[in-house]
């Protein structure tokens, strides 16, 4: 998905967090909404990273894409500030700064774990392609060797040497 679509989903989830807090829902409901928001925020960060890399497929003009990315980053930063404020001063104050710091640490750990899994997949794929390449080379060499052995044997039998 493009950053604009994911931004809409992220904003909707963030507004859900605010509404859950405003109506005094159970902590589990609030955490569920925060989880949805965090998931969409992660997708948005990934989309921003992908779309700002060289070679990314641009949807529309480059200028429009740049503004979309800037807007998404600014709105996501604002949401992050509001979430932090909720933990420290606002509705999630019972968790306090320690809860916010734990949230940040867990998010970083999960991101690192996800990146490690993706790197492992890339390594496995590269190893598979390399093994396939060398197996193909070996097969070609073996086929050519068998062919030449057959030709030499055939020439030898026609000449009456074998």
Three-state SS sequence of 35-99? HHHHHHHHHHHHHHHHHCCCCCCCCCCHHHHHHHHHHHHHHHHHHHHHHHHHHHCCCCCCCHHHH
Q: What is the pTM of this model?
A: 0.59
Q: Band the pLDDT of 27: cuts 50, 70, 90.
A: low
CA-to-CA distance for 41 and 34, rounded, in angstroms?
A: 10
Q: Is the pLDDT of residue 53 over 70?
A: no
CB atoms within 10 A of CB 35: 12
Q: Is the pLDDT of residue 30 over 70?
A: yes
């Amino acid at each position: 998905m493009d950053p604009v679509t994911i931004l809409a989903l992220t904003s909707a989830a963030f507004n859900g967090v605010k509404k859950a807090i405003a109506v005094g829902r159970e902590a589990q409901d609030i955490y569920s909404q925060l989880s949805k928001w965090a998931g969409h925020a992660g997708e948005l960060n990934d989309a921003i990273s992908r779309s700002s890399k060289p070679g990314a497929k641009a949807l529309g003009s480059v200028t429009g894409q740049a503004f979309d990315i800037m807007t998404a980053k600014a709105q996501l930063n604002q949401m992050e500030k509001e979430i932090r404020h909720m933990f420290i001063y606002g509705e999630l104050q019972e968790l306090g700064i320690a809860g916010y710091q734990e949230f940040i640490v867990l998010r970083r750990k999960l991101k690192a774990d996800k990146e490690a899994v993706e790197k492992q997949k890339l390594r496995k794929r590269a190893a598979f392609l390399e093994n396939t390449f060398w197996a193909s080379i070996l097969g070609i060499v073996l086929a050519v060797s068998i062919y030449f052995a057959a030709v030499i044997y055939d020439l030898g039998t026609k000449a009456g040497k074998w």
